[in-house]
Each structure stands twice: as structure tokens, then as C-alpha cells.
Amino acid sequence: MIMRTIDKTIVYLLLVGAVWLLLAPGKPAINERTFKEITDKYTLKEHYISTDDLAKAIMSKDPSLLLIDVRDAKSYQKYSLPGALNIPVAQLLSDENKDMLNQDVYRIVFYSNGSSLADKAWLLCSTMGYDHLYVLKGGLNRWFGTIIRPPQPGPMAGSEDYDLYEFRKGASAFFGGGSAVVPASQGSAPRPAIKVKRKKKQEGGGGCE
């Protein structure tokens, strides 16, 4: 069977993640969670959140939502989604960010321009055993192409397509049209003030080679 593009992407991400963990400062222990489990979850696309669902969560001020922009600081300062924190991929495994990422309070959504960089962030944190992690499917590029500048339905579109279009037009207006991705000084947020609840360690656990 010919390996599909998505399978090649998975293998690439797993290799990158494994090498990253081995070279990371302090050499953090690899969680018992197997690469197969991570691969299965990736294949099923369970870690993705759509731009529509994210827009609804932001608009409803979902208190469990925590957006993390994993691009470099310069890109983040230029523009970011409202309320997002900036933690570049290279800093995800630092001690400073460990308690924030390894918790049971927030639904964390990583995003980048596309999906690949955010996928790497998801892979790294998943390999460390962190949960409640998601990736904005298509990243900011899809955000602009669906929420900010929603395309009009074609002549053969059904009622559901028009309902979605109406929602996206409303979302575009809510986010300010072309300025929904806003300068970080306007749309960013400080690190959560509440103390995150760290996950309990499972008994009988241990690292794997």
C-alpha cells in the first residue's frame, strides 16, 4: 500500500518530536504514552479544531479556552488572535511553561500560520503526556479565508451552506473584518492569573527508553 501524504507527515512529526525531546535542555523524560497512541490520534484528526468552532468559542468568551501562538515573537507582535499568548515552539518545554501546559483547567489551542508548526507543538506536548491540546486546523491562513473573508456560497449551495455563510459574516463583523487578527498590543492577554491544576501522576508510571 502506498503511503499517503498524511502518513509521511505523521512519521516526520514523530521523528522531529523524538529528536527534539532527546536534545531538549534538561533531557525531559519521555512519558509512557506511546508513539502509536499519538499517531492514532493524529490520523483520526481528533486534535484539530475548526476555525468556525474556534470563532464560536472566542465570541462566547469560553473561559476554558487558552490560545497559544507558537510562531516567533516578531510574527506574534505583528498580529495575533484576540487573547492569545505567545510561546514559540522552541520554548514549549521550558520549566517556565510546564505547569501551564501540563494541566486540567484549559482547553489549549495551538496555532501558527498554517498547521504544520502548531502540529509540532501538539506533538511535543503530547509526547510529554500533556492533555487537552488542540490545533487550529489550517491556522491563520484558513482563519482569514473562512472567518475574516468568508466566500459566498455557489449557486448550487444548500441551506446549510447559507447558514454557515451567515454565521461567518457575523463572525467577521464581530472580529472587525480584515482586522480580526489584531496587533498583539490590542489582542493579547497576560498569562492566566489563576493557578492551574496540574494533572495527578498515575501510579505505576515510568519513562520508556
Structural domain boundaries of the chain? 5-144+177-187
Residue 15's pLDDT is what? 55
pLDDT over 90 at 59, yes or no:
yes
| Bigger pLDDT: 187 vs 25 | 25
Does residue 180 contact residue 83 with C-beta atoms inside 8 Å?
Answer: no
Q: Where residue 86 falls among pLDDT bands split at 50, 70, 90?
A: very high
Going by C-alpha positions, the residue among 195, 176, 182, 168 that lies closest to residue 83 is: 182
The fraction of the chain above a pLDDT of 90, given in percent, is 45
- The superfamily CATH assigns to domain 5-144+177-187 is Rhodanese-like domain (3.40.250.10)
> CA 7 → CA 3, 11, 24, 42, distances in Å?
6, 6, 25, 10
Q: How confident is the model at residue 38 (pLDDT cuts 50, 70, 90)?
A: confident
Band the pLDDT of 43: cuts 50, 70, 90. Answer: confident
Alpha helices in the chain (DSSP H): 5-23, 35-43, 51-59, 73-78, 95-101, 116-127, 139-143, 159-174, 184-187
Residue 128 confidence (pLDDT) above 60: yes
Rounded to the nearest integer, the mean pLDDT of the chain is: 77
**Which triple of cell numbers denotes residue 117?**
508548526
Residue 172 and residue 148: Cα distance in Å, rounded? 5
Question: What is the model's pLDDT at position 183?
Answer: 44
Reported pTM: 0.75
CB 112 within 8 A of CB 118: yes
Average pLDDT (58-75) is 95
Mean pLDDT of 13-32: 53
pLDDT of 205: 39
Can you give the pLDDT at residue 188? Answer: 43
Residue pLDDT, tens place only, 131-188: 899 999 999 999 999 999 999 999 999 999 999 999 999 999 998 875 444 444 344 4
Q: Residues of 81-120 as b/e, b for ≥16 C-beta within 10 angstroms?
A: bbebbbbbbeebbeeebbebbbbebbbbbbbbbebebbbb
